[in-house]
């Protein structure tokens, strides 16, 4: 196989002169090299990476193996091996003259033998252009909270048959893990210069760096699904949409054919043109705002080529939709009429604009659309399908400075270091965690566990990283604005200055006076809960809207961090089963988060705490609440571009609105994780006792399955109506997780289910439910179901309760499947600040107030049923 590839390559290389074929798609035109590797190796996608040494001229550097595999790495290949250069070294690649090439460089900053990537600074010169200068992969990855990065460049066509790429260490050493070289047709031509529309820019012989590539209104498109075999990655646009007005997303009907006409297919895949984003429903609304995207952390000293992709798959006449395109507040296109450009429905096109960032710009690139009323179109609307942004070479360079790490991260690292010191005094943290993790159920271990949880930090905390390009793919930390603000050991800085512009735009900003008025000066009688962040107050804003206001405890250092996290997260996530945010206040060292008031409080208080006179929750209602919460968590895990791990799933974080709809709350501890299977994030152990995943404890690696474990405890709580930990019970019963598993395995679960349920429920439904909960508590994360599986099983349990003879199974299955798709595509966009809510939070100590449920016996069938007959087969 390997030989064959080489022969093909050789032949086509030679034959270039003979036939000059533009075979952009043929394998022969691409090279995929695993640097420092001696053999061909496959990555997770099955792509083959060839050894690189034969392309090196002169110094061969030295091959090296990374000491540690970050859990966020998608695949060992090409990251675990690297080639290290301590002096200038040059690769010489055979290329077809006059052809453009895409080159991708892969960097995984790790420790390679005695070479620590933290000490590595280097330049890379390709095709005579400095693509990287004084580049620190380590600093760049840290700033973007990624484990590794990929940089992509479009090299201008050469006049010779080889391409030289030089690695030149400026301090320490240079290294590279992978190099990809792909021949591509030249897809750059003339572009309009914004602000000087009579002039054009010719992109034909320019070197460019890819900054952003976004499928607007649509989904992530993986390299394997790209067109033209160019292996580009397209992200969804949600992280970049600015403000509360998100417009609406559209998808082409099945019967609409996307007809490229004479536009080449490699420009962009069909999926780009099948989805779009347009404005709201009402004329006065359409006219009152700009549909806006903000792309941050672009290097101010360069010019950028902005490529906009359009395709109208609803309308077919000109002058139906005409809109103005603004780039950086300047008119790029006064009257864009997509049908006018393409001549018909379903025909795609693109337009290129070149814009210079002004010196002293804040590093944001704005794109805004607004209906062009002057041309009196039939509809006041605007639409767009995709955006690509490229940096243009300037004086033979494309290199910018290393990014500044966000302050949030700097602080994390500080804590990490202080933990490492502690750890050195106390032996291996991992061993300790293991021992304690095993004993976590025991009340005796309680205090020690608490101490550990606060202290345990993972040494390796690089997170996340399916991404690649230079900036701001990561909405949570990566975009943080760090300029000019001073941080904050005491938690007393202007935290909002760390927020992304986008997040600020999506939230309402309250003054502190408004907060005081809303809560009668934070009167104690309005306190509805207390959490690590501070107190939660009931309040009223805008003369009548009930809200819950979390006020940070100014002493809490943790507060600032969680405040920021929560705003960033909540402002981006919108889902029927997640609490979303109305706004925040950040003034005079006061930080508050504002949510709608959730009238029915927490799930916990309806199960066993507080007002006994309140009617007990029926089994059906419990099931519905669990299903709602599972949907919320499922969305966190899979709905956003980044997998989000809640980290503190418990009954007090599941809130209920007036209609008993469950909403997951409290993202203060959330972490984003890599959006992929088997991914996990190594991180500080946080969470609540009784709900902590033992595996997470042992390995300090966070996965979605840690949430699944906690959710299993929640399910048992709903079933048994007792706290997750109840130290007043006999030792073996203290931990609900342990006790319920014990009973479930011995077949005596009926003894411990909530007596209120006895006789009123379908035992098959209970059994299905308990089997699901049991599976969630599996010791190994990999044995636990996904939330999608859980959802199916809970729906099934609900159905058994509703409809015990099973006559209607298939219809329900079908329904929930489409629900799911619907959730992904529509709800998150459509639900704005409607049902926001927050209930009370609880403290650990409350776990110990407790109540005994008198357990009684009831008979059921045996519990050998197989877990999930209806596990979703489609996988992710």
Ligand X SMILES: *[C@@H]1O[C@H](CO)[C@@H](O)[C@H](O)[C@H]1NC(C)=O
Question: Would you call 374 helix, strand, or coil by DSSP?
Answer: helix
Pinpoint the alpha helices (H) of 215-289. 270-273, 283-288
Of 289 and 833, CB closest to ligand X:
289
- 266 CB-contact burial (10 Å; exposed 0-12 / middle 13-18 / buried 19+): middle
Q: For 107-125, give the secondary structure using H, E and C.
A: ECCCEECCEEHHHCEEEEE
Smaller CB separation from ligand X, 88 or 316: 88
Of the two residues 312 and 693, which places its CB atom closer to ligand X in the complex?
312
Nearer to ligand X, 546 or 812 (CB): 812
Distance from C-alpha of 711 to C-alpha of 314, rounded to nearest angstrom:
43
Q: Which two tokens stand for residue 225?
A: 């699904």
Closest to 528 in 3D by CA, of 591, 463, 473, 610: 610
Give the list of residues 6+ apart from residue 48 with CB closer than 8 angstroms, or none: 2, 5, 32, 40, 41, 42
Longest distance between any two alpha carbons in the chain, whole Å: 89
Tokens standing for residue 109 = 């900053």
Q: Which residues bind ligand X (CB under 6 A)?
A: 88, 121, 123, 125, 134, 136, 139, 166, 168, 222, 224-225, 248, 278-281, 283, 286, 288-290, 326, 328-329, 361, 366, 368, 370, 379-381, 402, 611, 613-614, 751, 803, 807-808, 811-812, 851-852, 855-857
DSSP string, 719-778: HH-S-SB-TTS-GGGSBHHHHHHHHHHHT-GGGTS-GGGTTTS-HHHHHHHHHHHHHHT-
Q: Tokens 């990999």 — which residue?
A: 782
Our CB check for ligand X shows the closer of 123 and 737 to be 123
Q: Which of 736, 685, 681 is nearest to 712 (CA)?
A: 736
Q: Shortest distance, CB of residue 329 to ligand X, whole angstroms?
A: 4
Min. distance of Cβ 449 from ligand X in angstroms? 24
Q: Residues 645, 636: contact at Cβ < 8 Å?
A: yes
Question: Minimum distance from CB of 96 to ligand X (Å)?
Answer: 25
Distance set, CA 493 to CA 485, 554, 563, 577 (Å): 8, 10, 12, 32
- Compute the distance between CA of residue 700 and CA of residue 698 in angstroms, rounded to an integer: 6
**Shortest distance (Å) from residue 304 CB to ligand X:** 12
Q: Which of 271, 312, 412, 648 is catalytic?
A: 648
- In angstroms, the CA 646 to CA 683 distance is 13
**Closest C-alpha among 439, 415, 460 to residue 680:** 460
- For the chain, first and last CA: distance in Å? 30
**Shortest separation between residue 517's beta carbon and ligand X, angstroms:** 26
Please report the DSSP string for 126-181 in residue order.
ETTEEEEEEE-HHHHHHHTT-S-EEEEEEEPPPSSSEEEEEEEEEES-EEESEEEE
Question: Which tokens in the block code for residue 527?
Answer: 């306190």
Long-range contacts of 432-440 (CB under 8 A, 24+ apart): 433/685, 433/697, 433/698, 433/700, 434/697, 434/698, 436/697, 437/692, 437/694, 437/697, 437/698, 438/694, 440/689, 440/692, 440/694, 440/697, 440/735
CB 574 within 8 A of CB 829: yes
Token representation of residue 474:
């990561």
Q: What is the distance between the alpha carbons of residues 239 and 473, in angstroms, rounded to a whole number?
A: 8
Measured CA to CA, the distance from residue 725 to residue 849 in angstroms comes to 10
Whichever of 318 and 552 has its CB closer to ligand X, that residue is: 318
Residue 648 is a catalytic residue: yes
Give the shortest CB-298-to-ligand X separation in angstroms.
Answer: 10
Select 361 or 430, whichever has its Cβ closest to ligand X. 361
Nearest approach, Cβ of 451 to ligand X (angstroms)?
29
Taking the least distance from each CB to ligand X, the nearer of 320 and 553 is 320
Closest CA to 476 of 732, 683, 273: 683
For ligand X, which is the closer residue by CB, 728 or 778?
728
Closest CA to 328 of 499, 505, 506, 194: 194
Give the contacts of 758 (CB within 8 A, at least 6 positions apart): 856, 858
Please, which residue, 423 or 848, has the CB nearer to ligand X?
848
204 in a known ligand binding site: no
Residues of each annotated binding site: 550
Residues of each annotated binding site for ATP: 550
> What is the set of active-site residues?
648
């Amino acid at each position: 196989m390997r030989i064959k590839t080489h022969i093909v390559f050789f032949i086509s290389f030679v034959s270039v002169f003979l036939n000059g074929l533009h075979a952009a798609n043929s394998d022969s035109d691409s090279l995929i090299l695993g640097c420092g590797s001696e053999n061909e190796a496959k990555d997770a996608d099955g792509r083959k990476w060839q050894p690189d040494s034969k392309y090196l001229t002169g110094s061969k550097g030295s091959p090296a193996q990374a000491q540690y595999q970050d859990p966020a790495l998608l695949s060992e290949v090409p990251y675990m091996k690297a080639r290290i250069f301590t002096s200038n070294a040059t690769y010489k690649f055979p290329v077809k003259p006059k052809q453009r090439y895409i080159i991708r460089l892969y960097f995984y900053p790790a420790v390679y033998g005695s070479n620590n990537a933290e000490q590595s600074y280097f330049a890379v010169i390709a095709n005579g252009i400095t693509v990287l200068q004084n580049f620190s992969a380590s600093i760049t990855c840290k700033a973007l909270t990624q484990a590794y990065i990929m940089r992509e460049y479009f090299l201008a066509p050469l006049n010779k048959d080889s391409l030289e790429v030089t690695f030149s260490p400026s301090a320490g050493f240079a290294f590279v893990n992978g190099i990809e070289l792909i021949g591509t047709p030249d897809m750059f031509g003339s572009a309009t210069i914004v602000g000087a529309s009579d002039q054009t820019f010719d992109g034909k012989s320019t070197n460019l760096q890819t900054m952003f590539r976004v499928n607007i209104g649509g989904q992530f498109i993986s390299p394997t699904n790209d067109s033209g075999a160019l292996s580009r990655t397209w992200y969804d646009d949600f992280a970049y949409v600015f403000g509360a007005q998100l417009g609406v997303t559209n998808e082409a009907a099945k019967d609409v054919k996307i007809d490229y006409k004479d536009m080449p297919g490699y420009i962009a895949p069909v999926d780009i043109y099948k989805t779009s984003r347009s404005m709201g429903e009402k004329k006065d609304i359409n006219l009152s705002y700009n549909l806006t995207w903000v792309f941050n952390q672009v290097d101010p000293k360069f010019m950028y080529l902005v490529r906009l992709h359009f395709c109208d798959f609803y309308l077919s006449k000109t002058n139906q939709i005409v809109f103005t395109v603004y780039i950086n507040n300047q008119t790029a296109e006064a009257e864009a009429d997509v049908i006018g450009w393409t001549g018909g429905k379903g025909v795609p096109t693109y337009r290129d604009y070149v814009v210079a960032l002004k010196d002293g710009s804040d590093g944001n690139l704005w794109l805004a659309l607004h209906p062009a009323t002057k041309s009196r179109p039939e509809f006041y609307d605007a639409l767009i399908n995709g955006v690509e942004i490229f940096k243009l070479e300037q004086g033979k360079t494309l290199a910018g400075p290393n990014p500044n790490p966000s302050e949030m991260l700097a602080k994390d690292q500080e804590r990490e270091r202080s933990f490492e010191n502690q750890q050195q005094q106390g032996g291996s943290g991992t061993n300790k965690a293991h021992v304690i993790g095993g004993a976590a159920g025991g009340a005796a271990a309680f205090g020690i566990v608490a101490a550990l949880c606060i202290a345990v930090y993972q040494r390796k905390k690089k997170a996340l990283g399916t991404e690649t390009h230079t900036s701001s793919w990561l909405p949570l930390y990566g975009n943080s604005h760090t300029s000019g603000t001073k941080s904050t050991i005491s938690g007393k800085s202007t935290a909002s200055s760390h927020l992304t512009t986008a997040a600020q735009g999506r939230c309402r900003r309250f003054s502190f006076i408004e907060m005081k008025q809303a809560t009668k000066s934070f009167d104690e009688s309005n306190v509805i809960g207390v959490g690590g962040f501070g107190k939660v107050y009931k309040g009223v804003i805008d003369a009548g809207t009930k809200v819950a206001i979390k006020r940070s405890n100014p002493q809490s250092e943790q507060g600032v961090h969680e405040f920021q996290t929560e705003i960033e997260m909540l402002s981006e996530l919108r889902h029927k089963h997640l609490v979303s945010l109305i706004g925040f206040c950040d003034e005079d060292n006061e930080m508050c988060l504002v949510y709608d008031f959730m009238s029915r409080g927490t799930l916990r208080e309806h199960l066993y705490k507080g007002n006994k006179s309140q009617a007990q929750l029926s089994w059906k209602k419990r099931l519905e609440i669990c299903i709602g919460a599972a949907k919320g968590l499922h969305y966190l895990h899979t709905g956003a571009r980044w997998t989000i791990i809640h980290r503190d799933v418990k009954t007090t974080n599941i809130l209920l609105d007036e209609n008993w709809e469950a909403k997951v709350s409290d993202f203060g501890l959330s972490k984003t994780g890599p959006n992929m299977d088997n991914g996990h994030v190594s991180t500080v152990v946080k969470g609540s006792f009784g709900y902590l995943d033992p595996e997470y404890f042992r390995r300090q690696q966070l996965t979605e399955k840690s949430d699944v474990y906690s959710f299993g405890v929640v399910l048992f709580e709903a079933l048994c109506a007792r706290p997750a930990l109840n130290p007043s019970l006999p030792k073996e019963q203290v931990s609900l997780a342990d006790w319920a598993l014990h009973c479930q395995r011995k077949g005596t679960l009926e003894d411990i289910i909530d007596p209120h349920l006895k006789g009123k429920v379908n035992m098959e439904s209970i059994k299905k439910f308990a089997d699901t909960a049991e599976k969630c508590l599996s010791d190994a994360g990999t044995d636990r179901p996904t939330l999608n599986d859980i959802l199916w099983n809970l729906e099934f349990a609900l159905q058994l309760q509703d409809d015990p003879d099973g006559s209607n199974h298939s219809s329900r299955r079908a329904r929930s499947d489409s629900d799911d798709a619907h959730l992904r595509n529509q709800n998150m966009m459509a639900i704005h600040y409607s049902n926001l809510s927050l209930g009370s939070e609880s403290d650990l100590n409350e776990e110990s107030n407790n109540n005994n449920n008198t357990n009684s016996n009831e008979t059921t069938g045996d519990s050998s049923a197989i877990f999930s007959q209806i596990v979703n087969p489609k996988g992710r």
